[in-house]
Amino acid sequence: MRRKLAAGNWKMHGLTDSLSQIDSLAAAHPAPRVDILICPPAPLIERAFRRASGHAIAIGGQDCQTARSGAHTGDISAAMLKDAGASHVILGHSERRADHGETDEVVRAKARTALAEDLIVIICLGESRAQRESGTTLDIISQQMAGSIPDDITPDRVVIAYEPVWAIGTGLTPTPGQIEEVHGHIRAHLTERFGLQTAEAIRLLYGGSVKAANAAEIFAIANVDGALVGGASLTAEEFSPIITALEAS
């Protein structure tokens, strides 16, 4: 059985004081029945790791470089993330794809580098509003999967997150039927490419305006193994009910 995962992406939010939210989250979930992950901004990773030490909360990064080291001013390598205490890294988030022009090929290269450093990669997929309205969602998802996921994966090191671009931070959420269709399509694609055993072991997360009010409904959908949560992960008060809903699903 796939162990469920509640992952929080703090994006470009958080200063030192924000780390107290990890204490509150740990107090609310001392023995969680799901995996909990917080991905803070890079300057906070090491301090977040130390804060979470001894608790059932993992720490991850939000991106890494394709290269393992070198003359890449301002970039962060997978090895640096690992050294700071990160166990996971988010790759191919729509904001990275849009703001930094990251292609599927770049995401795949980053995934290879991160996997070589023994990080767990969370590879993000998702369609725009125009693509959803044109009826090409499944084609876009297939294209992103084919280009972004390396061939030589093991299911315990890869997580797939479906985040429709038009639902991120907008308050809009796909219908349960739309989420189920895409997650089923992702599982089928993984099965065709990697075989049933590997495909069935890979966790699929949903992301895009997940909050306490809709979490239970989302987690009841087939092939949803957790969530990649943005704004609602910034405080324990908002993130904790989502974790509780996932535990109950």
Catalytic residues: 93, 163
Give domain 5-248's CATH superfamily.
Answer: Aldolase class I (3.20.20.70)
Return the domain boundaries, the chain. 5-248
pLDDT score for 1: 81
Cα–Cα distance between 163 and 182 in angstroms, integer? 10
Query: pLDDT tens across 98-123, in order?
Result: 999 999 999 999 999 999 999 999 99
Share above pLDDT 90 across residues of the chain, in percent, rounded to a whole number: 97
Average pLDDT score, the chain: 97
Residue pair 214/175 in contact (Cβ under 8 Å)? The answer is no
Q: How far is CA 75 from CA 78, 80, 128, 146, 239, in A?
A: 10, 10, 27, 26, 29
Cα–Cα distance between 116 and 204 in angstroms, integer? 22
Cα–Cα distance between 178 and 211 in angstroms, integer? 18
pLDDT score for 230: 96
pLDDT score for 102: 97
- Whether 173 has a pLDDT exceeding 90, the answer reads no
How large is the average pLDDT for residues 9-27? 98
